[in-house]
Structure 1
Amino acid sequence: MARRVFVHIGAPKTGSTYVQNVLWNNVEPLQRAGILLPGKFSAHDEAMADLRELPWHATPAWSWDRLTAKAASWPGDVVITNEGLGAATSAQAARAVRSLQPAEVHIIVAARDLWRTFPSMWQQSIRARSVWSFDDFIAAVERGRFEDFWEHYTANRMLRRWGDLVPAENRHLITVPGPGAPRDTLWRRFAGVIGIPDGVCDLTVPMGVNTSLGAAEVEVLRRVNQALGDRYPHRAPYQRAVQRHLVDAVLKNRENQLRFGVGPERAEWVLDLAEEQIKDLDDYPCEVVGDLAELRPVDPEPQPTPSQVRHDQLLETAIETIIGMISHAEQLHGLVPEPRVSPIERFRRRAAGKVKRGIQKIRT
């Protein structure tokens, strides 16, 4: 039976890609230290979708029950990590915690300042096939018409749905360090909660796998999503085609120099929200790893929104993207070997060629 189970539930866009890269690249050293990551990365994603009853995987190999059974068979500590877990309903979270008991269940939630969260979350929605503009997204949040943002993407409500199910000492809130902090700060905070000693894990893993796109690039992608109509629906068809061949192969590899963010007209609103968020979390009984002050934007610099990108910039980006996809197609062609042809088939092709040439000679 597992001794302790640490369930890392998000929130999205809080450095979870980096943390998970470290974990999954150090599975064996972690096991030698008594810490199990059951299954593999896809197993946690499939189990999350099963728990939340999401039809994301056509033929999933892992259910939530299978993942928890694997966890229960381990005599030490277990880590389950998927940022989609934070969006579970109260009933789904309760089922998850019950299924992991009688092990000591710990809930880990990460929080990031809203000034950086808003543009990151909108971009993530576009990369998940949404089509709304950044201005419409912000306006929906501001006017209370997009409660899912607070429910699914912020630590405050996640903690109450999940944290209330375990004792206060088993609730852990990790704040994402601001720009300029040492690269491994977030990992060390995460490792400290679980009790992973220094030196167990090799930290030389890519940190920026989930690369952010620039304003022009994400606006091109948004317009592609609009033009797709019913083709390549989310999730698997879109990831297989658009995400793989457009986003990952081309858009992520551009310089993406034109950044975007919350416009100056909403800076004060975001700062007020940050203070409300900090107070709410300060009142909630849990272990804070880091500093709640890191959720307060420091001298936020207003940036243009994607809707303010000039048409010539969009056109140039679209043309360069097409060129990039041509190059990507050529690379794929070089990686795919020519199909092997049997001697009989070669003979048939040669014979068919001779017949064709003979017919053409007669006609001329």
Structure 2
Amino acid sequence: MARRVFLHVGAPKTGSTFVQDVLWKNHPRLRRAGILLPGTRSAHDDAMTDLREVSWRDPGATWTWDRMAGEAAGWPGDVIISNEALGGATAAQAERAVSSLEPAEVHILVAGRDLWRTFPSMWQQSIRERRVWRFGTFLHDVEHGRFEAFWELHTANRMLRRWGDLVPPARRHLLTVPGPAAPRDLLWHRFAGVMGIPDGLCELAAPTSNPSLGAAEIEVLRRVNQALGDRYPHRTPYQRVVQHHLVDAVLKQAGNEMRIGVGLDRAGWVGELAERQIAELREYPCHVVGALAELRPAGVRQATTPDELDDGQVLRAAIDTIVGMLGHAESLRRRADQGDDAILSRIRRRAARAVWRRGGEMR
């Protein structure tokens, strides 16, 4: 039976990709130290979609939540389950998850990030998951209570109420995301400290990142999504085609010099939301790693929104994207040709050996 299980349930866009990169990069080391990550990275995603019973679960997925819990139960040490979308579970689903891991000592980890950075990151992620709404529409819907899912899926307050209430206060952990000027490894050290991972056990060298797209590039993707209509329905088909061949291969490689952000006209509103969030969390009994003050907007300055771009700027980005796609297609063709040459070479070598053996037998 597992001794302790650490459930890292979110929120999205709080450095979870970086933390998970470090965990999986050091998977063998952690296991030797008595800390298990059950299954594979994709297994954690499969288990999340199963627990939440989402409509976009991959029909080919083999991992379920019960299978994940069963693997955890068979480990004699500590277990880490990490998926930033777990925080979107309903209260009943969260209760099922925690109950399935008991009698192990279950800990809940939630990360919180300031809303000034969260709003543009979350909107951009929604576009990279096939949405087509404009940034201004997204902010308007959040501001006027028409997108309640934002608070449920992206704020520590709501997640702690659904997940944290299921365990004693000492096992509820809120990790605040450091400001942009902080050392990158500070976030990792905060997670590692909660999960009991010794200093120096894990290598942090060059984890992969999940970079943001620039204003023009994300607007190109938004318009591509509009044009695609019902093709590549969310989630797996879209990721295999659009995410892989357009976003990862081309758009992420662009200069992305024009960063998006919330306009200064909404700075007061965002600041008020942050103070309310901090006040609520100050009253909530949990272990805070970092400082609640880090949830206040930092580095507030005027930023570009994709809604402000003119058609000429979008056209230039679209042309650059087409050029990038041509280069990507050419690299795929060369790779295919090299693969064909390698296959033909192997066939020729085998045929030559067969002829040589046949000649030896005839002699």
TM-score (norm 1): 0.92
Partners of 2:76 and 2:85 in 1: how far apart? 26
Deviation for aligned residue 1:206: 2.1
Partners of 2:67 and 2:77 in 1: how far apart? 18
- Preserved contact between residue 107 and residue 170 of structure 1 (Cα < 8 Å): yes
Deviation for aligned residue 1:260: 1.2
The equivalent residue for 2:272 is 272
The equivalent residue for 1:133 is 134
The equivalent residue for 1:359 is none
1:306 correspondence with 2:324:
no
Partners of 1:160 and 1:50 in 2: how far apart? 22
1:162-203 Cα offsets, whole Å, 9 max, x none, are: 000000000000000001111100000000001111110001
The equivalent residue for 1:177 is 178
For these two proteins, the number of residue pairs brought into alignment is 342
1:327 correspondence with 2:363:
no
The equivalent residue for 2:125 is 124
Q: Residue 9 of structure 1: SS of its match in structure 2?
A: strand
Q: Residue 163 of structure 2: SS of its match in structure 1?
A: helix
- Preserved contact between residue 7 and residue 107 of structure 2 (Cα < 8 Å): yes
- Preserved contact between residue 38 and residue 67 of structure 1 (Cα < 8 Å): yes
The equivalent residue for 1:152 is 153
The equivalent residue for 1:360 is none
Partners of 1:44 and 1:234 in 2: how far apart? 19
Q: Residue 338 of structure 1: SS of its match in structure 2?
A: helix
Partners of 1:35 and 1:309 in 2: how far apart? 49
Q: Any unmatched runs of 5+ in structure 2?
A: 349-363
The equivalent residue for 1:74 is 75
Paired residue type of 1:70? E
Partners of 1:141 and 1:28 in 2: how far apart? 42
The equivalent residue for 1:113 is 114
1:293 correspondence with 2:293:
yes
- Preserved contact between residue 22 and residue 205 of structure 1 (Cα < 8 Å): no
1:123-153 Cα offsets, whole Å, 9 max, x none, are: 0000000000000000000000000000011
The equivalent residue for 1:187 is 188
The equivalent residue for 1:338 is 340
The equivalent residue for 1:15 is 15
Q: Any unmatched runs of 5+ in structure 1?
A: 344-364
Paired residue type of 2:99? R
Paired residue type of 1:104? E
- Preserved contact between residue 267 and residue 302 of structure 1 (Cα < 8 Å): no
Partners of 1:4 and 1:70 in 2: how far apart? 13
Indicate the larger mover: 302-311 or 325-334: 302-311
The equivalent residue for 2:63 is 62
Deviation for aligned residue 1:59: 1.4
Identity %: 65
Partners of 1:246 and 1:37 in 2: how far apart? 31
The equivalent residue for 1:240 is 240
- Preserved contact between residue 258 and residue 304 of structure 2 (Cα < 8 Å): no
Paired residue type of 1:216? A
Partners of 1:282 and 1:248 in 2: how far apart? 40
Deviation for aligned residue 1:205: 3.0
Partners of 2:299 and 2:100 in 1: how far apart? 45
Partners of 1:299 and 1:123 in 2: how far apart? 19
Deviation for aligned residue 1:297: 1.0
Deviation for aligned residue 1:34: 1.0
The equivalent residue for 2:38 is 38
Partners of 1:183 and 1:87 in 2: how far apart? 26
Paired residue type of 1:271? G
1:296-341 Cα offsets, whole Å, 9 max, x none, are: 1135112121110122211110001000001001111111123868
The equivalent residue for 1:357 is none
- Preserved contact between residue 116 and residue 298 of structure 2 (Cα < 8 Å): no
The 4+ residue runs of structure 1 with deviation greater than 3 A are 339-343
Paired residue type of 1:279? A
TM-score (norm 2): 0.92
Partners of 2:318 and 2:207 in 1: how far apart? 28
Partners of 1:260 and 1:232 in 2: how far apart? 27
1:93-150 Cα offsets, whole Å, 9 max, x none, are: 0000000000000000000000000000000000000000000000000000000000
Partners of 1:206 and 1:3 in 2: how far apart? 29
Q: Residue 232 of structure 2: SS of its match in structure 1?
A: coil
